A and B are shown apart, each in its own frame.
Chain A
């Protein structure tokens, strides 16, 4: 027991036991300590680290591979061997490099069409007639039909009245991976802000830790700020890792100003942090809070253009979709990253996000349940 010194001295009624243990302890910064505790709670939870950092990268990799730009498509077609003139038809089609032709018995051809190993079956039906068998609902079948038909008609002497010259483009910035990387980044700001902050606060409230803090001289603003500070630091990691991954691994372009890009990330992280605070401001149970979080996030996952463009939705709901914070952040990220737009264009999107940030933070402060 080290308190023997204190015991030996006379104890004044006004002070506690340690009070005269001379050299005054240097005051530790409560905001720093609170933020440190936030970090420790985060990185000592390996699952949390996985979901916030690795998951978006795995997602980007998966989507990038699934939707990569393929070399010009070759259509597989079958010619039914028994029909008269089948060999002629086959020869014509084999000359077309976009077609892969096989000569099959009627039975084999039917099966191949059923299981999809060929997209179209051609049956010669006389000297100048053919029959196409295909499923019109399959896009590769329609492509095959048009290629086969063009080849056969041209071989039989069709002349195209319009002369066409083609120049092919594959533009960096217009591929699916280019579209989806900023979307995933916006989504991770939303998820990490709302889940990361929401769950820790509700958990602290349920464990009566919040009440315990309120019984100390802790500044309530410091407590809430420590969550936003943690988000800001984690944001740097999230944004850098995912952006660098997109740029280096998939060649996603970064056309606009990095400052505007970083500003958008910062605004996004703060906005969703404030929304997380608001969602957590009253809830007493983790279950209640997570239901609320899903209700808030679901419309944005679907509507805010994470995986597909928000413009797919009918005009009637566009005003709502454009007012969502994730739509604003995703649009701003894409404007800067893919289109190289300047602040004039992103200003309106920033404004939408900033309104959400201010309103949600103010409401959270006003309604926060501390006990």
Chain B
């Protein structure tokens, strides 16, 4: 990739409010050409607002957006030709077939693949002549991406491409995004699934309340926790009260402790040292463990350690 240093998207000091609601408080982004960049955040974090400002569909209150090095104000028509956009909640006309819809979108662009090539890329061949009304949720989502690909875009925006889909459709969509990535496209996607961000994105901005709270590759973000293992103890009713967070965090190998109802979550470096000490401490306090689980840290743990909340409210 000759031009990999060039920025495909640059956002500086973005702020956007709707009346009293501050959707985006202050946000900076830099997306390099050829990378897949993820905006990860819970509901209402401001992901859609951010991406729609980048797509030129919303006017920012404050801040500057450079898309492919250009400003929307100066080069709207050119940018529209070079971008592919998938919105969070478009419903296509039920009576129109897949091929007809893609052909329509193709006609808006000066150049691009034939509708059948796009259909093949998103693997909707058997549904070529099916009406939109008869497609499954995952197929509709792939149609939506196909329409975004009709102009052979240099930069592709995908807003929550897998939200609301069953696990199999999600995996199919992931494969599609990976294929597009393999074709060298710059992709900006939003999601509130940490596994999706981890799998698809080269770099991630974790967004909360309209601010970037962490930025980096998925591995670097996870490593920033410093923990090798996450340990979760589920305590018997009431017995969690006998435990004290300060005491637990003083144990060898324990980096951090968080109490969440009957659950005690610990960030741990050396599990082989920490676990025996931990169990001994629990025993000494007279508390009873119902369940003990450990896992390697994920982006979810990063989010929880930064905000004290989970990405998705269970």
Contacts and interface: CB of A to CB of B under 8 A. Distances in A.
Interface of A: 1-3, 6-7, 11-19, 21, 24-25, 27-30, 32-34, 36-37, 40-41, 44-45, 204, 207-209, 211-218, 371
B35 to A, nearest CB: 11
Nearest to A212: B90
B1 A25 contact: no
Contacts of A29: 107
A33 B3 contact: no
Nearest to A222: B108
A34 B104 contact: yes
Given A13-B1, A45-B95, A212 B80 contact: no
B2 interface: yes
B120 A28 contact: no
| Interface residues of chain B: helix, strand, loop or mixed (majority) | loop
B111 interface: yes
B96 A12 contact: no
Contacts of A37: 93, 96, 100-101, 104
Given A40-B100, A208-B89, A214-B57, A3 B95 contact: no
A18 B3 contact: no
Interface string B103-116: 11111111111100
Interface residues of B, number: 54
B90 A211 contact: yes
A301 B182 CA distance: 61
A114 B230 CA distance: 95
Contacts of A209: 90-93
Contacts of A212: 85, 87, 90, 147
B293 interface: no
Given A13-B184, A16-B153, A207-B91, A215 B55 contact: yes
Given A45-B95, A216-B85, A217-B80, A7 B183 contact: yes
A136 B88 CA distance: 71
A18 B113 contact: yes
B245 interface: no
A125 B76 CA distance: 97
B161 to A, nearest CB: 14
